[in-house]
Structure 1
Amino acid sequence: MIDHLELSTQDLATATAFYRGALAPLGYTLHVEGKANGFGAEPARLDFWLRPGEPSSPRPHFAFFCATRTLVDASYRAAMQAGGTDNGAPKLRVDIHPTYYAAFVRDPDGHNVEFVCQA
């Protein structure tokens, strides 16, 4: 089980603003702001962190769980409005499996962010 994910970003303020908007539909909030910024759906469980630094190469691909396809759509729209770049609009991806509904967005540092519902 993964406890948390930490990404390096070239511009902490820009990345923080992006994820603040992109993760809002999932109930994520920025709870810690400082040398590293921590997000979570609840203050006692911060599972997504940003820190200044050079992003790794190649950029990691990671996915946020969405309980419904509507949340995938909402998260994709929010990420695009927050400055993301389209990397795959929401759709059913039967090549992965019959109920895999996902969308992909590149964040300001080029990380491949996925929003997925497998129901």
Structure 2
Amino acid sequence: MIHHVSVGTNDLAASRRFYDAVLPIVGLLPLSAAADGLGYHCGQFHFSVQVPIDGRPATVGNGSHVAFAAENRAMVDRFHQAALANGGSSDGAPGLRPAYDAHYYGAFVRDPDGNKMEAVTYAAA
């Protein structure tokens, strides 16, 4: 089981606006906010957004993304809409991804720093 995932940011205020709007849709609630980072949780799982501790700019991992489980397609759609309304950009509109699985319904977004996030469900329409 994964305990936590952390992504870097160069603009904590923009990240807070984005993640405070997007993560509650998939069940992650705000846990903490500090001058150097934000924390969200759902049960034992934690997601954090941090200014890099080495003082260098945050960068995006090419080929990496974080996927959040959604209960249904409407939740995936709301995740995508909230991301776009709060400083994110689309990297794949909500829809079926039959190349992954016949029932795979997902949406891909980029946060304000360019980190790739996804909401996905296998639930029927």
What is the TM-score when the length of structure 2 is the normalising length? 0.85
Alignment-derived partner of residue 48 in structure 1: 47
Contact 1:28 1:39 in 2 (8 A): yes
In structure 2, how many angstroms separate the alpha carbons of the residues matched to 1:62 and 1:84?
A: 15
- Give yes or no for contact 1:38–1:46 (8 Å, CA) kept in 2: no
Please, which runs of 5 or more residues in structure 2 have no aligned partner? none
Mapped to 1, the partners of 2:77 and 2:61 lie a distance apart of: 27
Aligned mates of 2:67, 2:20 — CA distance in 1:
16
The AA in structure 2 aligned to 1:38 is: G
- TM-score of the aligned structures, taking structure 1 as reference length: 0.88
Asked if structure 2 preserves the Cα contact closer than 8 Å seen for 1:23 and 1:79, the reply is no
Give the secondary-structure state (helix, strand or coil) at the position aligned to 1:75: helix
The equivalent of 1:110 in structure 2 is 114
- Offset of 1:16 from its aligned partner? 1.3
Aligned residues: 117
Distance 1:95 1:49, change over 3 A: same
- 4+ runs of 1 displaced by more than 4 Å? none
- Percent identity between matched residues is 35
Relative to 1, partners in 2 of residues 1:13 and 1:46: Cα closer, same or farther, differing over 3 Å? Answer: farther
Deviation of 1:28 (Å): 2.5
User: What is the root-mean-square deviation of aligned Cα atoms in Å?
Assistant: 1.6
Stretch of structure 1 that moved more, 97-106 or 56-65: 56-65
Which is richer in strand?
A: 2
Counterpart in 2 of 1:96?
100
Q: Paired residue for 2:61, among 58, 61, 64?
A: 58
- The 5 Å alignment of 1:56-95 reads 56-59=59-62, 60-95=64-99
